[in-house]
């Protein structure tokens, strides 16, 4: 018996050494590819963008030798020995218990491309040039010149960019993006994926995941702006009481969605609050009678929503065991960049880089037909806004940094880095 055990141990040790050598080869291949990619990329992109592009395009190695050993070993009897302690690996890592996913819900600010996969006769402008011009001219369906906030958050969390739910053959090992441009808490525009639809899609994914995985994961959410756009467009003369009633409905439905995610296992929620809607280039252009001033009704609705959302999340934290959250003050952060663009390294905070009209507020990329003429700036990095309602990659990077590691007057009670660090 002892001789057989010794032989098994020798075999396992040899197998382990072979796997470790395989890890080294994979990582060496990755580093070589990434170095070459970075050298070529550096001619046209900033370092941060190159890093994301090259990590995506090269063969991505495992995050640690331990995980790689376990992934290979679990296909054989090696896994049982790894987990029994014969090999020095952390069983929690081996079981994937430390891996934390990122789930994204929202509208066009967070949509990584779901809308371009919808069965719709409507042209999805962001799936075409000039959207994506900063991202090697790849129009991915993101409503920006390049990357959006969730992309940077994934990078900071040491995850791959989280793919859109509807992308064929997408790898959801690091999370899923359910956001849909133009959507809202309510069905603001037929054919898009509103919050109930996003929640339905999440439940399909969650059904194949262990509840403990969901407890460790972070849920990043940006939603509500389109609901207020729609309400104010349809009800320009609404009373304060009517606006308050609608706001309560929006926040109430958001809260109910959080409770459903919580029941499925979700515990850590990161909100980006509603921005200064009335100061977007699109809105200033939509209300020419304001002579370039911000639309106060939209601003009031936004601040009303943000106050109510903060109170609602505090209540959930007190009532739901383990519920943790953060709220990023997107409203203040964006408004300050609009009013003091140069303070943040921009040349223009009021007019968009791409579009038509006084503020380039509409029809970037030719609008819904693709045939309308439009203006396009030579350097999106100089602008806060890429089109009439969406920020540039440079602005998105700045905002994501605040979400990830911002101080309490910007985001709280946790920032997203702290949420990921929570067990």
86 is a catalytic site residue: no
Peptide bond connecting 287 to the previous residue in cis, omega within 30 degrees of 0: no
For 184, 188, 279, 287, the CA distances from 290, given in Å and listed in that order, are: 26, 25, 11, 6
Closest CA relative to residue 110, chosen from 254, 269, 222: 222
Closest CA relative to residue 139, chosen from 130, 148, 151: 130
Q: Which residues pair with 270 in a beta bridge?
A: 220, 326
Q: How far apart, in whole angstroms, are the C-alpha atoms of residue 327 and residue 305?
A: 12
99 is a catalytic site residue: no
Q: Which residues pair with 386 in a beta bridge?
A: none
- Tokens read off for 360: 């380039």
For 23, 27, 62, 75, 335, the CA distances from 79, given in Å and listed in that order, are: 16, 22, 17, 7, 53
Which one of the listed residues 108, 180, 183, 222 is annotated catalytic? Answer: 108
Which one of the listed residues 217, 227, 329, 390 is annotated catalytic? Answer: 390
120 is a catalytic site residue: no
Q: How far apart, in whole angstroms, are the C-alpha atoms of residue 275 and residue 331?
A: 4
Contact 251, 384 (CB under 8 A): no
Task: Write 72-77 long-range contacts (CB < 8 A, 24+).
Answer: 72/19, 72/22, 73/15, 73/16, 73/19, 76/15
281 CB-side CA count, 13 A: 27
Dihedral sign from CA coordinates of 396, 300, 409, 185? negative
Write the DSSP symbol of residue 366.
G
Which one of the listed residues 107, 111, 227, 387 is annotated catalytic? Answer: 387
3-state DSSP assignment of residue 221 = strand
Residues 6+ apart with CB under 8 A from 176: 101, 103, 104, 162, 163, 164, 165, 170, 201, 202, 205
- Tokens read off for 153: 């958050």
Backbone torsions φ then ψ of 271, nearest 5 degrees: -105, 140
Positions marked catalytic: 108, 387, 390
């Amino acid at each position: 018996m002892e001789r057989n055990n010794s032989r098994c141990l020798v075999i396992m040790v040899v197998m382990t050494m072979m796997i470790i050598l395989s890890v080294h080869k994979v990582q060496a291949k990755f580093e070589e590819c990434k170095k070459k990619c970075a050298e070529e990329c550096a001619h046209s992109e900033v370092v941060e963008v190159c890093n994301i592009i090259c990590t995506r395009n090269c063969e991505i190695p495992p995050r640690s030798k331990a995980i790689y050993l376990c992934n290979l070993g679990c296909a054989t009897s090696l896994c049982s020995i790894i987990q029994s302690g014969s090999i020095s690996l952390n069983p929690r890592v081996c079981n994937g218990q430390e891996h934390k996913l990122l789930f994204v819900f929202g509208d066009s600010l967070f949509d990584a491309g779901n809308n371009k996969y919808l069965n719709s006769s409507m042209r999805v402008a962001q799936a075409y040039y000039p959207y994506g011009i900063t991202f090697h001219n790849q129009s991915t369906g993101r409503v920006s010149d390049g990357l959006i906030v969730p992309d940077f958050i994934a990078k900071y969390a040491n995850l791959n960019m989280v793919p859109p739910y509807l992308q064929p053959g997408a790898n959801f090992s690091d999370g899923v993006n359910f956001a849909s441009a133009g959507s809202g808490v309510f069905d603001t525009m037929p054919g898009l994926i509103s919050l109930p639809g996003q929640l339905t899609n999440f439940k399909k994914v969650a059904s194949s995941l262990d509840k403990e995985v969901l407890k460790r994961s972070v849920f990043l959410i940006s939603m509500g702006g389109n609901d207020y756009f729609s309400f104010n467009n349809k009800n320009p003369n609404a009373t304060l009481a009517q606006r308050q009633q609608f706001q309560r409905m929006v926040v109430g439905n958001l809260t109910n969605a959080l409770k459903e995610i919580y029941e499925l296992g979700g515990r850590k929620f990161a909100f980006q609050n509603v921005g200064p809607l009335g100061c977007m280039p699109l809105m200033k252009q939509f209300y020419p009678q304001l002579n370039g001033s911000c639309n106060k009704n939209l601003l009031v609705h936004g601040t009303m929503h943000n106050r109510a959302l903060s109170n609602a999340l505090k209540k959930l934290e007190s009532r739901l065991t383990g519920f943790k959250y953060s709220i990023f003050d997107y409203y203040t952060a964006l408004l300050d960049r609009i009013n003091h663009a140069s303070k943040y390294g921009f040349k223009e905070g009021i007019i968009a880089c791409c579009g038509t009209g006084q503020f380039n507020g509409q029809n970037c990329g030719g609008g819904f037909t693709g045939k309308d003429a439009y203006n396009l700036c030579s350097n999106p990095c100089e602008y806060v806004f890429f089109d009439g309602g969406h920020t540039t990659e440079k602005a998105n990077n700045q905002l994501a940094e605040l979400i990830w590691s911002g101080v309490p007057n910007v985001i709280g009670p946790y920032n997203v880095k702290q949420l990921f660090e929570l067990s």
